[in-house]
Chains A and B, each alone.
Chain A
Amino acid sequence: MVLLTLLAAITVGIVRMRNLFAVVVLGGIYSFLMASVMIVLDAVDVAMTEASVGAGISTVLMLAALHLTKTEEAVPTHTPLLPLFVAVATGIVLVFGTFALPSFGVAETPMNMHVAPYYLQNSIPDTSVPNVVTSVLSSYRGFDTLGETTVIFTAGIAVLMLLKGKRELKPGPKRRRIRR
């Protein structure tokens, strides 16, 4: 609960800050907090991924992009009243919806009764992998993971194409250094 409150506090900071560098660093802290929350929620694999990918790679990518652009955000010209109204209205509707959801930590919810017990019971006989997350990810749903890697591959190609066009625009000493 304390961790969740901290998350909310950092979110307020991210919304209010104008210095993008500070925003990115706060984003890193946010990701680490998120990873701690995930450990509390028993999602250890997800927590490890979030700590390395969310706090590590994302922050590095953001900082690289900031290096290539600029770090100060302009003062907005129009008042944010309409977006504020839209956001608050959406929030109120969603909070109203939460009262129909099952409370936190209960085992007898439809989500936990439906297919999850099957994987928990059959993971060892079928794949002899004790970690159920691993066995579902790479054995039961292996083709989905293949699709996921395809998505990443496509994104990588797209990033390379976008940034390669840039280097051809201004061939300079930087390019020669790469060739050596």
Chain B
Amino acid sequence: MDLLQAIVAHYNHWIIIFLMVSGLYIVVARGNMIKKLVGLGLFQTSVYLLYLSPGKILGGTPPIISEQHTVYSNPLPHVLILTAIVVGVATLALGLALVVRINEAFGTIEEDEIFAGEEDE
């Protein structure tokens, strides 16, 4: 029974950690730069969940004030994460532009091939 309670209470945290760790793994282990950016995105979205899930109050409603409701979820993480999403897409665009430029200069977007090409010169 204790175990079941622990699972219900922390399931969101464990999924967040799984997403975060797999994002980290992609960024470190894969040489392809677009794949690296996807991994960075995974990491980023896991952080969104990390902020949003403690702000949820069971039985609460979205933080839009009205007369029928008295319990609202915490609005502050929502504000932070809205900003983070928009900045995230800006950095993603910048990263992809860099990848396109690298592809033009080196003819490849694989890290290993770029290093190999530099050693030959």
Write the residues of chain A forming the contact surface with B, with a CB cutoff of 8 angstroms. Answer: 1, 4-5, 7-8, 11-12, 14-15, 20, 23-24, 27, 30-31, 34, 37-38, 41-46, 49-50, 53-54, 57-58, 61-62, 64-66, 68-70, 73-74, 76-77, 80, 83-84, 86-88, 90-91, 94-95, 98-99, 101-107, 109, 111-112, 115-116, 119-120, 123-124, 130-133, 136-137, 141, 144-145, 148, 151-152, 155-156, 158-159, 162-163, 165-166, 169
Residue on A with the closest CB to B110?
A74
Q: Is the interface of B mostly helix, strand, loop or mixed?
A: helix
Contact in complex: B79, A65 (CB < 8 Å): no
Residue on B with the closest CB to A137?
B79
A45 to B11 alpha-carbon distance, docked (Å): 24
Contact in complex: A15, B101 (CB < 8 Å): no
Q: Enumerate chain B residues within 8 angstroms of A104, measured Cβ to Cβ.
A: 8-13, 53-54, 56, 58
Contact in complex: B83, A144 (CB < 8 Å): yes
Residue in contact with A69 in the complex, picked from B15, B17, B45, B99, CB distance below 8 Å: B99
Assuming A4-B11, A68-B103, A133-B75, is B86 touching A49 (CB within 8 A)?
yes
Contact in complex: B35, A73 (CB < 8 Å): yes
A131 to B63 alpha-carbon distance, docked (Å): 6
Assuming A69-B109, A70-B109, A104-B9, is B79 touching A133 (CB within 8 A)?
yes
Contact in complex: A34, B25 (CB < 8 Å): no
Write the residues of chain B forming the contact surface with A, with a CB cutoff of 8 angstroms. Answer: 6, 8-15, 17-22, 24-26, 28-32, 34-35, 37-38, 41-42, 45, 48-49, 52-58, 60-66, 71-79, 81-83, 85-87, 89-94, 96-101, 103-104, 109-110, 112-113
Contact in complex: A69, B18 (CB < 8 Å): no
Residue in contact with B74 in the complex, picked from A37, A88, A102, A111, CB distance below 8 Å: A111
Residue on A with the closest CB to B49?
A37
Residue in contact with A158 in the complex, picked from B75, B81, B89, B94, CB distance below 8 Å: B94
Contact in complex: A46, B25 (CB < 8 Å): no
Contact in complex: A74, B112 (CB < 8 Å): yes
Q: Enumerate chain B residues within 8 angstroms of A106, measured Cβ to Cβ.
A: 57-58
Contact in complex: A69, B11 (CB < 8 Å): no
CB distance from A94 to the nearest CB of B (A): 5
B24, B57, B73, B75: residue with the most chain A Cβ atoms closer than 10 Å: B75
Residue on B with the closest CB to A87?
B25
Extra A-B contacts (5), CB below 8 Å, given A1-B11, A61-B96, A73-B35: A14-B38, A46-B81, A49-B86, A66-B34, A163-B101
Assuming A46-B81, A87-B24, is B97 touching A132 (CB within 8 A)?
no
